[in-house]
């Protein structure tokens, strides 16, 4: 097992990464003094891992209230959030009752937001079971739900007390979901960790074949990158925005195509190729660099051609991005491979060229 820390003063917390952690009650014990928790999960993850977690909790004398939600990005909504509140109230969960998120990023984001708001705040623990959640969404405290007009539009910054990433849970993850997580892994290399990007280029086939040691290394290195960024800029007043590489385009793809039709990681992959294309049009990176980015996503079996929503639709959807300032869209772009910046002065003509070029490959 490897342990990292997200350094946020008295709100600092550990990330434990390793095999068979769902059975390690001692890692949870200190966070459950009142011996009762609510486990928020979904209809896919519950049959796989709920009983195992409940057994582990029982062994340390902790009882649990399971809350099993419908599965899918299309359920990351106000209505589903309300199902969590209903269950917590019906079961008389108190301020001292921690919530455990057992699942992927959708469950983690919604559980975190429920924890931030139920009784004005209860403790929560992340037990991420997808690659994406283990490398990204379980760390850093961005919580929330979607709005029909835009991704993650309603939410709060609210940190978990503990992240427990049991890499064995990835054994049941479908291939396309493994690939989706890889998009965020590649992101860290592109924005701030060139040696990691080079390692990914050397090891992508091993990772996609689920080599245990390679996956464990990639998860830990991703978490280290994310933890450093979050510790430096918890509420995204600066550097944290770099974690949004590919997301301005990607979120537009997700909402424009209808939530759940493109996976988040798939939107990020195609969106990152668009960001690379735009960076090239600005003269910052070369055509070979763009090809390098495209090639790595392809090797991770991710889409590199964006859906043709129409240029005006893209512009409308991206106009709702959370990074918009004074009506101007601010993009995360590549100054060079391994180094990103936030840039708000993209000439409209170049943006249109990218939107037209990237939907045709």
Ligand X SMILES: O=C(O)C(=O)C[C@@H](O)[C@H](O)[C@H](O)COP(=O)(O)O
Ligand Y SMILES: NC(=O)c1ccc[n+]([C@@H]2O[C@H](COP(=O)([O-])OP(=O)(O)OC[C@H]3O[C@@H](n4cnc5c(N)ncnc54)[C@H](O)[C@@H]3O)[C@@H](O)[C@H]2O)c1
Interface residue list for ligand X (CB under 6 A): 136, 140, 142, 151-152, 184, 236, 240, 243-244, 247, 322
Active-site annotation holds for 184: yes
Phi-psi region of 296 (alpha: psi -120 to 50; beta: other; left: phi over 0): alpha
- 3-class SS at 186? helix
Residue 90 a catalytic site member = no
Binding site residue list for Zn(2+) = 184, 247, 264
What's the token pair of residue 350?
A: 């170049």
Rounded CA-CA distance 294/276 in Å is 9
Residues belonging to the binding site for NAD(+) are: 71-76, 105-109, 129-130, 142, 151, 169-172
Q: How far is the CB of 331 from ligand X (least distance, A)?
A: 12
247 flagged as catalytic:
yes
Shortest distance, CB of residue 150 to ligand Y, whole angstroms?
Answer: 11
Q: Which helix (H) or strand (E) holds 225?
A: helix 212-232
Q: To which H or E segment does residue 57 belong?
A: helix 51-59
Look at strands 150-157 and 142-147 and give their pairing.
Answer: antiparallel
Q: How far is the CB of 140 from ligand Y (least distance, A)?
A: 5
Q: Cβ 224 to ligand X, closest distance in Å?
A: 14
Instruction: Name the binder of 234 from ligand X, ligand Y, none, CB < 5-8 A by kind.
Output: none
Q: Give me the catalytic one of 146, 244, 266, 281.
A: 244
Q: Is 244 a catalytic residue?
A: yes
Residues that bind ligand Y (CB under 6 A): 42, 44-45, 48, 71, 73, 76, 103-107, 109, 129-130, 132-133, 136-137, 140, 142, 151-152, 169, 172-173, 177, 180, 264-265
- Work out what residue 44 binds among ligand X, ligand Y, none; the CB cut-off runs from 5 to 8 Å by kind: ligand Y
Residue 58 touches which member of ligand X, ligand Y, none, C-beta under 5-8 Å by kind: none
Ranges assigned E (strand) in the chain: 2-6, 13-18, 36-42, 63-69, 99-103, 124-128, 142-147, 150-157, 162-166, 331-336, 339-343
Q: Is the CB of residue 74 less than 8 Å from the CB of residue 259? A: yes
Tell me how crowded residue 326 is: count the other CB atoms within 10 A of its CB: 6
Active site residues: 120, 142, 184, 226, 236, 240, 244, 247, 251, 264
């Amino acid at each position: 097992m490897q342990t990292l820390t997200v350094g946020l003063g008295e709100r600092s917390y550990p990330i434990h990464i390793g095999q068979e952690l769902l059975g390690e009650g001692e890692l949870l014990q200190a966070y459950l003094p009142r011996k009762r928790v609510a486990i928020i999960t979904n209809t896919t993850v519950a049959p796989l891992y709920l009983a195992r977690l409940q057994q582990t909790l029982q062994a340390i004398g902790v009882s649990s209230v399971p809350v099993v939600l419908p599965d899918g990005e299309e359920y990351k909504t106000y209505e589903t959030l309300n199902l969590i509140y209903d269950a917590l109230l019906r079961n008389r969960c108190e301020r001292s009752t921690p919530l455990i998120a057992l699942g992927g990023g959708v469950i983690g984001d919604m559980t975190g937001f429920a924890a931030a708001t139920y009784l004005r705040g209860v403790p929560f623990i992340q037990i991420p079971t997808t690659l994406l959640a283990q490398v990204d969404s379980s760390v850093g405290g961005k919580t929330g739900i979607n709005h029909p007009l835009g991704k993650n539009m309603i939410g709060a910054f609210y940190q978990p007390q503990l992240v427990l990433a049991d890499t064995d849970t990835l054994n049941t993850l479908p291939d396309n979901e493994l690939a989706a997580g890889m998009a965020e892994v590649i992101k860290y290399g592109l924005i701030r960790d060139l040696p990691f990007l080079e390692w990914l280029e050397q090891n992508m086939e091993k990772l996609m074949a689920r080599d245990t040691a390679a996956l464990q290394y990639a998860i830990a290195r991703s978490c280290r990158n994310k933890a450093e960024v979050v510790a430096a800029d918890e509420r995204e007043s600066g550097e944290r925005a770099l974690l949004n590489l590919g997301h301005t385009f990607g979120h537009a793809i997700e909402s424009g195509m209808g939530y759940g039709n493109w996976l988040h990681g798939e939107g990020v992959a195609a969106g990152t190729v668009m960001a690379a294309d735009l960076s090239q049009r600005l003269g910052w990176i070369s055509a070979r660099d763009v090809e390098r980015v495209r090639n790595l996503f392809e090797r991770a079996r991710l889409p590199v051609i964006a859906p043709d929503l129409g240029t005006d639709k893209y512009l409308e959807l991206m106009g709702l991005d959370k990074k918009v300032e004074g009506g101007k869209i601010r993009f995360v772009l590549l100054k060079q491979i391994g180094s990103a910046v936030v840039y708000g002065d993209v000439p409209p003509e170049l943006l249109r060229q990218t939107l037209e070029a990237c939907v045709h490959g």
